[in-house]
Amino acid sequence: LIPGACGQQTIMLNHRHIHEGFRDHLSEVAKMAGVDYIVNPLLNERLDIVALVAGDTDAAFDYGCDLARNLYATETPDAFDIGIFNAFPKDTELCQAGLAMTALGGTKKNPFNENSTTVLCSASPEGLGWHSVLGPGTALRGKANPPLRRTLLFSPGVNKWDAISLFGEGVIFCKTWAEVLLELHKHHGVGAKVSVFPAGALQRPADADY
């Protein structure tokens, strides 16, 4: 129901509290609408169903989260020169590409160094995509969000201007993987330490508190 079927204003207010009360708000809306039963699958990187929870909207969700903490737990490397983060399975549109970094969200480690490069990957077959409150120029994203460190964006389904609209002019846009390799070799040379997160939107740090 929310964010799937609600209006833009409701979605905007809900997303303003993404880190506090977000789930409580979803639960409240479900109860208001009379929804008291859910069936939620947990998928792996091949999109196979590896677990399934069903029942009360809150109890089943909580149990699903308990399962997910183990299913998606990923050990965060101590350090790397290059981090490659794939947004799969949230890689159909560029506006969701930032979810690739979920693989490090909440980790107590900082594997980056001052010379590190982030490679953000999103196939984006649907192009830039559309998000009613977090897309370019919308209520919660009025301007581009520049990356915190040197970042390459590999996204065959978009163009340079799509990339700039989301990440600003500081991002290095690469249409092909050959361009990515050329940029990495130019900056890091040989012998760089690389970590790859193949399904970043599914992965979570094993040391995170959530």
Q: How confident is the model at residue 29 (pLDDT cuts 50, 70, 90)?
A: confident
Q: Is residue 96 part of a domain?
A: yes
Residue-wise pLDDT for 44-68, tens only, equals 999 999 999 999 999 999 999 999 9
The reply to whether 158 falls in a domain is: yes
Q: What CATH number is associated with residue 116?
A: 3.90.226.30
Q: Is the dihedral of CA 38, 61, 53, 55 positive or negative?
A: negative
What is the tens place of the pLDDT at every residue in 171-186? 999 999 999 999 999 9
Instruction: Please check whether residues 164 and 144 belong to one and the same domain.
Output: yes
Among 4, 52, 54, which residue's Cα sits nearest to residue 29? 4
Q: Is residue 210 part of a domain?
A: no
Report whether 137 contacts 125 (CB < 8 A). no
pLDDT the model gives residue 127: 94
Residue type, 37: Y
Number of domains observed in the structure of the chain: 3
Its domain, for residue 53, covers 37-71
Q: Are 158 and 128 in contact (CB under 8 A)?
A: yes
Write the pLDDT tens digit of every residue in 99-158. Answer: 999 999 999 999 999 999 999 999 999 999 877 776 677 766 666 778 889 999 999 999
Q: What local confidence, expressed as pLDDT, does residue 142 receive? A: 62
